[in-house]
Structure 1
Amino acid sequence: MQLPSPRYDQSQVLVIGDVMLDRYWVGETSRISPEAPVPVVKVNTTDDRAGGAGNVALNIAALGAAASLVSVVGRDEAAEVLRGQLGAAGILTDFQVSVDKPTITKLRVMSRHQQLIRMDFEQSFGPDDCSKFADKARQLLSGAGVMVLSDYAKGSLANCQALIAAAREQQVPVLVDPKGSDFSRYRGATLLTPNIHELEIVVGACPTEQVLVDKASQLMQELELSALLVTRGEHGMTLLRPNQPELHLPARAREVFDVTGAGDTVIAVLASSLAAGYSLPEATGLANVAAGIVVGKLGTATISGPELRRAVGMERGVERGVVSVDQLLIALEEVRQQGEKVVFTNGCFDIIHAGHVGYLEQAREQGHRLVVAINSDESVSRLKGPSRPINPVERRMAVLAGLEAVDWVISFSDDTPEELLRLIKPDVLVKGGDYSETEVVGWEIVKAYGGEVAVLNFYENCSTTGIIEKIHETS
């Protein structure tokens, strides 16, 4: 399956569920306590992160989508920390405040990238603590493309049916990250995302693929689900839909460092992708790539839209070489985040000669990355005459892509690269020849957004026309 380059700026997702504060105390250990056989941690760093439904919302916001969050917190300092962090990420929070229970907080003591102990501060919420959830959901659903129920079995989703009914009234898909042994609470949802252990608690052991498919199919029928996505750790994930063949995606992680919050990332990418209009298989593929990234990070983590697009781009092989416009834009977004300077040049490059090689090396020296745009065959014929090009565009691009100085090669069919310049917005536009700056095609486009224009000299006695004329003479 060819994954799309995901864009989430038009996605809006409503998240409802159990929010918590993940608190980390980090320090060095160099001795054992004289009071008990436990390590002594000298804490030198503290870190607070939104967890649970809060982490789902943060993942959605990091992707570039709009996120709203409905949850319940206590009247305490942890709630204020959550409001501050989530608000800073642009997330609209609508919290119901419990009068007698604290904000759920999980404290982890870390040393040398290892958890030594986790302490949970929590009390399960009751119906009174989340009595306003359905009303809050109805108010926020009108602008949402997808609703996520993030269930951590802390009590805030005791009345899932009212929330699912509210979403169905407005024809908004409902995605559920489930917990517990009774999935009937989620009847009528669009998609459930249990891990394999959670699924087996409900349906029994699934020792073979066929047993998994059969039991999952029966569960979907009983609960009136449109789909079931089972995450399976090192075995990847499997998407199951009624009357359709299962879609199995292998795990993408190169190194598993910490699985904390990986399920939050999966459902966040699924929801954002569906809200953006991608198909369920495409959304699943993107979520699988995202999961492979996030498990390589420490603690409750998110991934950004550019990070995901770069990972998808690497699968397409766009680290360098011949690319499409979409692939190039993904690659440039990543290098610009690293502060790298993008150089652009263009030409026919019909027969690559020493002059071209020297010129391209000089062009690359103007920045960090070099994009070479070459005229299509039809464009070359219009500019050079019906006998040109000598080499078709695929061969010209292949040769250019093999040069050390060149990062990306792209073709264009117009007579000038002006449309490409408007899209790419290079930091430096380079042209070779005896030109003034204002004679370079596209100079005014580049100057308008603050870019530079550079004119480099071609090597003397090196030209494609001269090479062709000499071949004719010798023949």
Structure 2
Amino acid sequence: MTLSIPDFSGLRVLVAGDAMLDEYWFGDASRISPEAPVPVVRNSSSERRPGGAANVALNVAALGASVRLVAIVGRDERGDALQRALGDAGVQCDFVRSPKLPTIHKLRVLARNQQLIRLDAEQPLDGCAAELGRRFDSALAGIDIVLLSDYGKGSLSRVEELIRACLTAKIRVLVDPKGQEFRRYGGASVLTPNQSEFETVVGPWPQEDEFLRKAEALRAELGLQLLLVTRGRRGMTLVSGAAPPVGLAAQAREVFDVTGAGDTVLALLGASLAAGMPPPDAAALANLGAGIVVGKIGVATVSRAELSLALHRRGSGGRGLVELDELAAMAADAKARGARIVMTNGCFDILHAGHVSYLEEAKALGDHLIVAVNDDESVRRLKGAPRPITPLSDRMAVLAGLAAVDWVVPFSEDTPASVVERIVPDVLVKGGDWQPEDIAGSETVLANGGQVRSVGFKPGRSTSALIRSIRELPE
């Protein structure tokens, strides 16, 4: 399966459900309390993050879509903190602010990334569900897709009414369910239970074919278009009725925390379907995103840059063909995670062994390699007619297929100086026939504490020499 990441920027997504504020205390535990047989944690730092339906909305916003969140929170400091965090991420909050019910809060204490205890503060939210429904109905106009995140806290106690409103408006609605009564979700477009939730409803199965039979039976009974069961180490299974079931292997290399993985699945699946991806591709992209977030601590989001890099690494799409604005965001995200960015540039007209060796040597200087490529007109200015032999789209596609290359971006000027200024790589590289001081953009990189390097140059390996050889071949 070859995947690509769709453009989510034009989507309008409505999220509703149980929003909460997740808090994390991080520290070390080196001794046992003299008061009780429990570890003593010396708190060194703390974080607050949107959780539940708020995390779903945050995941949608991280993809670049417009998102509105309808949820119930308290008229308290935690509700204010949740609204600020979401607003800073571009989420439009439509909150029912209750003076009596507190904002749902989960406090997790971790020592050396191991969760020791979780403390929950919450009360049932059923009493405000009718007001949430009114807010929901008012928000439906112009929406492309609806995501309902049910954590069983009461916000979606009238979920049947919300689904009917979506059906009336002809808007697809995806539900991440909770509890043992799935009939209340009947008529939804998609349901995304985890394996434990699914088993609670349909009972155990001795063999895989029985699991598939139960999944199709539940899908048909509830009138769903799709049923996606997330299965932990076994990945995911997508059942549609119209086609054979699709099994997706787990993507995580190392699992640190499964908290919030279902939020990411719901957000990515919904946004991908709304963007026009076929269901198997949308599920595969959601599976990829889940594999990324479980490698993080706590509730988390996945960015387009992380998805693109993950696709590139597994060689199944997302091969790094980007425009400058998208590249700038990806590079900034990678730097924020401590990655070292290397950049080079050239015409790369007829790729040869010298290019491959040079790019591999450049990649060895950091974590991610950006290749900026002259467009056709700038090649003609530099090399003369009839160059380039190979058009820009082909040159970029071939470069993006190399294992050493992470991102490929075009530029139209004679030099990539403006691209260098926008990206500010940690290392700027050209071939060994260039002096560092002559490399375009070197001043920008050096001024920001980076390095400018010349790497290996293979004598006799050049596009011009190849063209001469081809012209000398007998007809």
TM-score, scaled relative to structure 2: 0.77
8 Å Cα contact 1:318-1:328 kept in structure 2:
no
Structure 1 segments unaligned to the other structure (5+ residues): 434-455
Pairing 1:171-320 to 2, within 5 Å after superposition: 171-316=170-315
Map of 1:39 onto structure 2: 39
CA distance, structure 2, for counterparts of residue 359 and residue 308 of structure 1: 23
Pairing 1:47-126 to 2, within 5 Å after superposition: 47-126=47-126
Task: Pick closer, same or farther for the CA change 1:409–1:69 going to 2, 3 Å.
Answer: closer
One-letter amino acid of the counterpart of residue 15, structure 1: V
Task: Pick closer, same or farther for the CA change 1:336–1:420 going to 2, 3 Å.
Answer: farther
Task: Pick closer, same or farther for the CA change 1:370–1:290 going to 2, 3 Å.
Answer: closer
Map of 2:445 onto structure 1: none
Task: Pick closer, same or farther for the CA change 1:324–1:383 going to 2, 3 Å.
Answer: farther
Q: CA deviation at 1:109?
A: 1.5
Q: Secondary structure at the match of 2:347?
A: strand
Task: Pick closer, same or farther for the CA change 1:325–1:63 going to 2, 3 Å.
Answer: closer
Q: CA deviation at 1:372?
A: 7.2
Query: Quick check: which has more Rg, 1 or 2?
Result: 1
CA distance, structure 2, for counterparts of residue 18 and residue 307 of structure 1: 27
Q: CA deviation at 1:245?
A: 0.5
Task: Pick closer, same or farther for the CA change 1:350–1:115 going to 2, 3 Å.
Answer: closer
One-letter amino acid of the counterpart of residue 15, structure 2: V
CA distance, structure 1, for counterparts of residue 35 and residue 432 of structure 2: 76
Note the aligned Cα RMSD (angstroms): 4.5
Q: CA deviation at 1:293?
A: 0.6
CA distance, structure 2, for counterparts of residue 109 and residue 258 of structure 1: 13
Q: Does 1:143 align with 2:146?
A: no
Task: Pick closer, same or farther for the CA change 1:360–1:260 going to 2, 3 Å.
Answer: closer
Structure 2 segments unaligned to the other structure (5+ residues): 422-427, 434-453
One-letter amino acid of the counterpart of residue 216, structure 1: A
Aligned residues: 430
CA distance, structure 2, for counterparts of residue 215 and residue 184 of structure 1: 15
CA distance, structure 1, for counterparts of residue 193 and residue 244 of structure 2: 19
Map of 1:442 onto structure 2: none
Q: Secondary structure at the match of 1:131?
A: helix
One-letter amino acid of the counterpart of residue 116, structure 2: L
One-letter amino acid of the counterpart of residue 79, structure 2: A
CA distance, structure 1, for counterparts of residue 129 and residue 111 of structure 2: 37
Q: CA deviation at 1:60?
A: 1.0
Using the aligned pairs only, state the percent identity: 41
8 Å Cα contact 1:19-1:73 kept in structure 2:
yes
- 1:317-368 per-residue CA deviation (whole Å, 9 max, x = no partner) reads 789xxx68459997786446437464321154588789x9999999x99xx9
CA distance, structure 1, for counterparts of residue 360 and residue 179 of structure 2: 62
Map of 1:343 onto structure 2: 344
Task: Pick closer, same or farther for the CA change 1:333–1:118 going to 2, 3 Å.
Answer: closer
8 Å Cα contact 2:190-2:226 kept in structure 1:
yes
8 Å Cα contact 1:5-1:313 kept in structure 2:
no
- 1:65-122 per-residue CA deviation (whole Å, 9 max, x = no partner) reads 2111111112222111111111111111111123422111111122111111111111
Task: Pick closer, same or farther for the CA change 1:224–1:371 going to 2, 3 Å.
Answer: same
CA distance, structure 1, for counterparts of residue 116 and residue 360 of structure 2: 55
CA distance, structure 2, for counterparts of residue 149 and residue 36 of structure 1: 42
